[in-house]
């Protein structure tokens, strides 16, 4: 008796290990951007005598990110995504090294600002490429769970990085700067090798990303959500002061957002399912409601509640935007569309920052609420139109099937009755009428 054939051993740890490395890369990728507001202020203080000069470095980094996202993403289509991603992170690391060195030797401040711009220039394209790599590691059915884990790690990064920067910067601004360099370079080492992630062919490289109305809609939704979050976070100190609280208590409101956003990311990971359209509409409505409560609640308790509401749907919405854009574009355009999503988020932050600096906090929240309401209405109209069109197609299909079934039934009795009558006539006794 022959021994039963044994199935070939398939290694199951390597894909999981590669995914864990991708999670590590994603979690550390945002460290420089998350730590920059504190670290740049500490770096600018000895150079200019004012910590607020760090805002100029942040502005340069953000504007450069907006300008560089699309061109660099299109350039990246000529290369395999993993080496290209490493090259972009390498450029950012060199720019951060330059900032640390220039600040250490007391160089002119404009050179330090230029270094911040160079660091930001590659951020959008690097994010888009990093996100597109995930499609080579997990099947579409596991994307929601993986993106939920990524969103959770991102929130943990944005909570912990400013704390680390402040703690190290309290000892020496140089420590905060070099911490950004080291942690920001981690994705170079962690990002796994993926043989299947190759450069697109010549035909795919020659095609351009089509910004269809649906793609534009979700990019605008991403920007609006970012504006809502940043309006609360940037205006948190002003809100605390307006309630008669110490300025340091302003950290309470961003922390409330981060806590519920982490929980929201965990929920997405456990649920592992793309939400229904009405659920997405409800999430957008919760965001708008949270901003209304924050902007017009006129109390610290109401502001905390509003921040909790906005944070609770932050990760689910971010995951949905990523999933729907992933589905709407061709694989060779994923890096570019994710870079555009990152750019839309940056534009939302810039908008809220500009409004807070130019007009009152109440006016800023009014604008953000108006934008969120508009996004909610437009998305509702789009979803309703799609549902009506789907219903019409289904009813038309059912009607066509019913007509086809009716024709089949109508044809069957004609043949069947004739044959029965003939058989009855042949078998009837003579003389029977």
Q: How far is CA 71 from the centre of its chain?
A: 20
In CATH, 211-410 is 1.20.1250.20: yes
What's residue 407's pLDDT? 67
What's residue 349's pLDDT? 87
Look at the alpha carbons of 304, 306, 312, 315 in this order and tell me if their dihedral is positive or negative. negative
Q: Which residues contact 192 (CB under 8 A, 6 or more apart)?
A: 17, 18, 21, 22, 82, 137
Dist. CA 106–CA 226, nearest whole Å: 35
What's residue 204's pLDDT? 61
Q: What angle do CA 208, 122, 80 make, to 5 degrees?
A: 55
What are the tokens at 373?
A: 């309401």
Dist. CA 358–CA 361, nearest whole Å: 9
If you classify domain 24-193 with CATH, what class do you get? Answer: mainly alpha
Q: Which of 180, 190, 205 is nearest to 76 (CA)?
A: 205
Q: Which of 326, 292, 322, 329 is nearest to 309 (CA)?
A: 292
| Domain range list for the chain | 24-193, 211-410
Q: Is 101 exposed, middle or buried (0-12, 13-18, 19+ CB in 10 A)?
A: middle
Matching fold, domains 24-193 and 211-410: yes
Residues in the chain predicted with pLDDT less than 70, given as ranges, are 1-15, 51-52, 197, 199-206, 407-433
The model's pTM:
0.81
What's residue 165's pLDDT? 86
CA R_g for the chain: 29
What's residue 7's pLDDT? 38
Helix or strand run (H / E) with residue 253: helix 252-271
What's residue 242's pLDDT? 84
What's residue 5's pLDDT? 41
């Amino acid at each position: 008796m022959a021994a039963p054939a044994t199935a070939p051993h398939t290694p199951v740890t390597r894909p999981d290990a590669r995914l864990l490395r991708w999670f590590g890369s994603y979690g550390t990728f945002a460290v420089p951007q998350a730590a920059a507001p504190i670290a740049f202020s500490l770096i600018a203080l000895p150079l200019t005598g004012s910590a607020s000069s760090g805002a100029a470095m942040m502005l340069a980094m953000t504007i450069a990110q907006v300008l560089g996202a699309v061109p660099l993403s299109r350039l990246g289509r000529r290369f395999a995504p993993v080496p290209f991603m490493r090259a972009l992170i390498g450029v950012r690391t060199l720019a951060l090294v330059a900032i640390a060195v220039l600040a250490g030797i007391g160089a002119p401040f404009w050179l330090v600002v230029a270094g911040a711009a160079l660091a930001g220039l590659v951020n959008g394209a690097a994010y888009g490429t990093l996100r597109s790599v995930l499609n080579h590691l997990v099947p579409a059915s596991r994307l929601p769970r993986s993106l939920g884990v990524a969103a959770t790690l991102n929130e943990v990064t944005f909570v912990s990085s400013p704390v680390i920067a402040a703690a190290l910067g309290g000892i020496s601004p140089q420590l905060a700067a070099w911490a950004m360099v080291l942690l920001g370079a981690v994705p170079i080492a962690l990002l796994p090798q993926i043989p299947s992630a190759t450069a697109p062919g010549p035909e795919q490289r020659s095609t351009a990303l089509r910004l269809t109305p649906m793609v534009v809609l979700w990019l605008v939704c991403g920007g609006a959500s970012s504006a809502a979050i940043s309006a609360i976070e940037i205006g948190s100190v002003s809100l605390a002061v307006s309630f008669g609280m110490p300025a340091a208590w302003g950290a309470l409101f961003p922390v409330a957002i981060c806590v519920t956003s982490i929980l929201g990311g965990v929920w997405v990971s456990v649920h592992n399912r793309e939400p229904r359209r009405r659920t997405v509409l409800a999430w957008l409505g919760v965001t708008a409601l949270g901003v209304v409560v924050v902007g017009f609640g006129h109390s610290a308790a109401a502001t905390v509640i509003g921040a909790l509401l906005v944070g609770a749907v932050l990760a689910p919405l971010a995951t949905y935007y990523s999933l729907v854009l992933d589905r709407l574009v061709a694989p060779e355009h994923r890096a570019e569309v994710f870079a555009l999503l990152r750019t839309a988020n940056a534009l939302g932050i810039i908008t809220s920052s500009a409004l807070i600096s130019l007009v009152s906090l109440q006016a800023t929240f009014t604008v953000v609420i108006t934008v969120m309401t508009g996004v909610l209405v437009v998305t509702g109209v789009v979803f309703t139109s799609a549902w009506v069109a789907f219903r019409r197609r289904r009813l038309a299909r059912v009607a066509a099937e019913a007509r086809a079934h009716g024709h089949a039934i109508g044809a069957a009795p004609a043949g069947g009755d004739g044959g029965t009558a003939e058989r009855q006539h042949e078998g009837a006794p003579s003389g029977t009428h």
